[in-house]
Amino acid sequence: MKPVVAISIGDINGIGVEVALKAHETISRWCTPLYFTNYELLQQAAKMLHMKLPEDIEVEFVEGRFSIKPGKVSKKSGKYSFRSFQKALDFTTKGICNALVTLPIHKEAWMKADIPYKGHTDYLRKYFKKEAIMMLGCEKLYVALFTEHIPLKKVPKKIQKKRLTKFLISFFQSESPALPVAVLGLNPHAGDGGALGDEEKKIRKAIQKANEKLGKEAFFGPVVPDIAFTPNVRKNLSHIVALYHDQGLSPLKALYFDESINVSLNLPIIRTSPDHGTAFDIAYKGLADPTSYINAVRYAVDKISSNAP
């Protein structure tokens, strides 16, 4: 029996339906995708894309009737993407589906629809009452983020030994990396012995404490941020922990933009998504690349297999 993967449809004014339809045949080899939407909207989208709906497509009905407006921020599409996500999450939490893959939503559309969450991960944290860890990347390299969508000026205050230690342990237990994980420093040159900042002292202590609790050399660092992504260093790494959003994601996306995915760790379910947004600028133009979405489904299916008794 192939696993069942819940696919929340995302913002239907973006590229979500296009990548889903383009990838359907491929992912159906590994799993049974269950799309949380309705046939009326799917048919409308397929017609605009000059594509045919696959005969074997399985849909779990989500109420909603409106005209698709490519590339437009819309209260209706924002509300619909949230409904789709909620129902797909419910099916996954109840075990009806084995994993959840979320197509991209638009944060402004959620705001227009009065949805009080910044995105999928924010909702998942509150839903499960757990600190979901955001990890992005591909088989060549994954990057976990210690802090995510916060102003840069607030990052140094978040770097506390106890908090970082807890993060590192939760990350390692969720992902089980095969190789030791590099933890980046905060400052240029990883502080240069305190000349350029002293946050690295807390980082070093957190690494030591996490390794002690895990009983192995799971982490090392702090690593100088501007060398961590160079070919000679990253060839010996499978995972990196970055301390803030752009420190990790700017180099990662420069290297592996089309291949990367987004994974939510430290949750009781498997959840992945493409590592790109709604791409309103190319919506319904037939230009969307499904590679990241395909990789997100592949990762989820592999996790289902590894978690099987």
Q: Tell me which architecture the domain covering 1-130+267-309 has in CATH.
A: 3-Layer(aba) Sandwich (3.40)
**pLDDT tens readout for residues 15-71:** 999 999 999 999 999 999 999 999 999 999 999 999 999 999 999 999 999 999 999
**pLDDT tens readout for residues 222-256:** 999 999 999 999 999 999 999 999 999 999 999 99
Give the model's pLDDT for residue 196. Answer: 85
CB 222 within 8 A of CB 168: no
Q: CA-CA distances (angstroms) from residue 37 to 144, 179, 198, 207?
A: 31, 40, 50, 44
**pLDDT tens readout for residues 86-95:** 999 999 999 9
Q: CB neighbours of 173 closer than 8 A, spacing ≥ 6?
A: 266
With H, G, I as helix, E, B as strand and everything else as coil, classify residue 59: strand
Q: CA-CA distances (angstroms) from residue 55 to 25, 36, 52?
A: 11, 16, 9
Task: Dig out the tokens for 242 from the structure.
Answer: 């970055």
Rounded Cα gap, residues 248 and 123, in angstroms: 23
**pLDDT tens readout for residues 136-168:** 999 999 999 999 989 999 999 999 999 999 999
Q: CB neighbours of 32 closer than 8 A, spacing ≥ 6?
A: 2, 3, 4, 5, 58
Query: Three-state secondary structure along 124-186?
Result: HHHHHCCCCEEEEEECCEEEEECCCCCCHHHHHHHCCHHHHHHHHHHHHHHHCCCCCEEEECC
Residue 308 pLDDT exceeds 70: no
E strands along the chain, which residues? 4-8, 32-37, 58-61, 99-102, 133-138, 141-145, 181-184, 219-223, 239-242, 261-265, 271-274
All structural domains of the chain with their residue ranges: 1-130+267-309, 133-266
pTM, two decimal places: 0.92
* Residue 295, phi then psi, degrees to nearest 5: -65, -35
Topology, domain 133-266: Isopropylmalate Dehydrogenase (3.40.718)
Domains 1-130+267-309 and 133-266 agree in fold: yes
